[in-house]
Amino acid sequence: MLAIIGGTGMAQLACLEISHRKIMTTPYGEPSGPLTFGKINDNTVVFLARHGYGHTIPPHQVNYRANLWALHSLNLSRVISVASVGGIRADLTPGTVAIPDQIIDYTHGRKYTYHDVIDKAVTHIDFTEPYCQLTRKRLLDAAERANERVIDGGVYGATQGPRLETAAEVNRLERDGVDMIGMTGMPEAALAKELGLCYGTIAVVANHAAGRKTSAHAISLEDAHAVLEKTMVGVRNILERVVEFDVD
């Protein structure tokens, strides 16, 4: 079974034929909302809205540990995250979809690990490759099957939010090698790795990052939401194909 975590622009999954919803409890509190079960093209899928189904939970207050723990308890095959980002790299223009292969964490103060109990042995994870390579390949193959253009690779910079970045901050991120900026990539990716989940991300570029579009000084959130609404049609096409790789 495949899990999909929807971010900004995907509080619901229109292509999902819903069968039921389930309220979950975890040792780490409540997830962002009930898990929604159903089928896409006769393949079982579970969906979770990262920011809540009313999009009321800001990125720095998402209970990432509860979300991933709840999904892990279902013995899933893999987890696909859909996340909106701002594009730094020149080819990451609004409406572009990318499958990142690396991540840099700029967040702070979040509950970022399951291994924080001092009376147990210290546990480290290898985070050389933050995203599951098989999941990335399946997303790329699904995009090709769906005839949807995606960019293979890119460095995701996870910032704290909920505010957007200054132009100077974006310049620093670019010097660090960041290609796209989001607010939810961490600790979600690391927690998935701790739980042994095969995790990948579909990054949807909603806007140019601050200072990257010379014709405007400010980012229009209205325009960004319009871009997301349009681009999510292609994302759903990819999801409809990727489920074919995870047959029950």
- In terms of Cβ atoms closer than 10 Å to its own Cβ (0-12, 13-18, 19+), residue 191 is buried
Q: Does 232 carry a binding-site annotation? A: no
> Rounded to whole angstroms, how far apart are CA atoms 138 and 166?
35
Q: Does 142 carry a binding-site annotation? A: no
Eight-class DSSP state of 4:
E
Q: Does 67 carry a binding-site annotation? A: no
Q: Does 51 carry a binding-site annotation? A: yes
How distant, in Å, are the alpha carbons of 60, 83, 111, 115, 240 from that of 190? 15, 16, 11, 11, 26
**Alpha-helical runs (H) found in the chain:** 64-72, 133-145, 167-176, 188-194, 221-242
Q: Does 186 carry a binding-site annotation? A: no
SS3 21: strand
Annotated binding site: 8, 50-51, 183-184, 207-209
Output the known binding site for substrate. Answer: 183, 207-209
Residues at the binding site for phosphate are 8, 50-51, 184
